[in-house]
Amino acid sequence: MRLLREKIENEGIVLSDGVLKVDSFLNHQIDPVLMKEIGFEFARRFKAEGITKIVTIESSGISPAVMAGLEMGVKVVFARKRKSLTLTDQLLVSSVYSFTKQEENNIAVSSQFLSKDDRVLIIDDFLANGEAAKGLIDIVNQSGAAVMGIGIVIEKSFQKGAKEIMDLGYRVESLAKIASLKEGQVSFVEQLEEVTI
């Protein structure tokens, strides 16, 4: 997705060999026009899957997921990382380790928002070691619904998550794939792959 790649090239900040900061359009400040384009692209890629629900995780997954949900005509559920007084239903829970926050979280979704007939698209902002995505897959599987695919805004392809999840048999569609962050430079996988999109 050319617009996303340009944003990463122009505004992404490489904090270390493993950490890319995109706070100006995705993780803190949000560019709504870019989010709309991202939602449109997820909808295009998963059009044939008969998606009935999108599952994401707070907070940075919400914007791309809601834009995809608008385009696809389905509702979005965001997994919660923290307990809320209003989260009183029977919960589907999974444990997720966050490398950027350096802590283990239980993530939770109310069981009432996922049924065994649902065909679920999981969306998240980043895919690195795959912890969050695997937690969301676990939750969807607990509900009996089917995981039809995982849509990722930025995949750090040099980390293990994407390969591990594909090896489990899931379809992963990442709109930007980063091969390396070494020497402060962002290098993309298959630089020419999406030039025509």
Regarding 4 and contact with a copy of itself (CB under 8 A), the answer is no
Does 44 bind a copy of itself (CB under 8 A)? Our answer is no
Cα of 147 vs its chain's centroid, Å: 13
Contact between 163 and a copy of itself by CB under 8 A: the answer reads no
* Position 76 contacts a copy of itself (CB under 8 A): yes
24 binds a copy of itself (CB under 8 A): yes
> Which tokens go with 119?
């065909």
Phi then psi dihedrals of residue 99, to 5 deg = -75, -35
Tokens of 179: 């091969």
Least gap, CB of 152 to a copy of itself (angstroms): 17
160 binds a copy of itself (CB under 8 A): no
Q: How far is CA 61 from CA 56, 151, 193, in A?
A: 6, 10, 25
Measured CA to CA, the distance from residue 83 to residue 106 in angstroms comes to 9
**How far is Cα 61 from Cα 12, in angstroms, rounded to an integer?**
17
Applying CB under 8 A, the span of 58-66, 130-138, 167-175, 184-192 interacting with a copy of itself comes to: 58-66
Phi, psi of 163 (to 5 degrees): -65, -45
| Contact call for residue 10 and a copy of itself (CB under 8 A) | no
Residues forming the site for a copy of itself (CB under 8 A): 15, 19, 21, 23-25, 27-33, 35-36, 58-59, 62-63, 65-67, 69-70, 73-78, 80, 82-89, 100-102, 109-110, 113
